[in-house]
């Protein structure tokens, strides 16, 4: 699950995780167990855990769902979107950096997650 979080003025949140490819800008999010929570519940939990952004699950809508093959296994990836009530956030140890952006060009030639690009497309 990935979350495209926006501000009312159109800015969106991009993050660099502190694990795996630490240079790549991506969407916040992570894995979840469908038997334990819905994608919207997972999005609310991940944003709270990673960035201290408190949004109810009902604030999220599904933007895209796709089946991926990562590390030799089939997964369903859901991209959700929501508008955050403020631009405040606090980084957890999982996040190396986070920025509110108006355009991906603000990141220069930094590598981008395909899910970030897809969510904005």
Q: Report the pLDDT value the prediction gives residue 6, as an integer from 0 to 100.
A: 98
Beta strand 61-70 with 95-101 is unpaired
Phi (first) and psi of residue 26, to 5 degrees: -145, -175
- Which whole number is the average pLDDT over 43-52? 97
Question: Which pLDDT tens digit goes with each residue over 89-101?
Answer: 999 999 999 999 9
Q: Report the pLDDT value the prediction gives residue 24, as an integer from 0 to 100.
A: 96
Among left, alpha and beta (phi > 0; psi -120 to 50; other), residue 2 is beta
The three-state (H, E, C) secondary structure of the chain, written as one string = CEEEEECCCCCEEEEEECCCCCCCEECCECCCCCCCCCHHHHHHHHHHHHHCCCCCHHHCEEEEEEEEEECCEEEEEEEEEEECCCCCCCCCCCEEEEEEECCHHHHCCCCECHHHHHHHC
Q: Report the pLDDT value the prediction gives residue 71, as an integer from 0 to 100.
A: 62
């Amino acid at each position: 699950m990935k979350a495209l979080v926006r501000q009312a003025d159109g800015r969106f949140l991009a993050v660099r995780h502190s694990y795996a490819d630490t240079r790549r800008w991506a969407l916040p999010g992570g894995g979840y167990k469908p038997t334990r929570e819905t994608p919207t519940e997972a999005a609310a939990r991940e944003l709270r855990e990673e960035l201290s952004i408190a949004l109810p699950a009902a604030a999220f809508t599904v933007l895209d769902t796709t089946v991926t093959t990562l590390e030799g296994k089939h997964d369903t990836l859901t991209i959700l979107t929501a508008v955050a009530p403020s631009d405040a956030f606090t980084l957890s140890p999982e996040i190396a950096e986070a920025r509110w952006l108006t355009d991906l060009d603000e990141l220069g030639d930094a590598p981008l997650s395909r899910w970030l690009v897809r969510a904005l497309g």
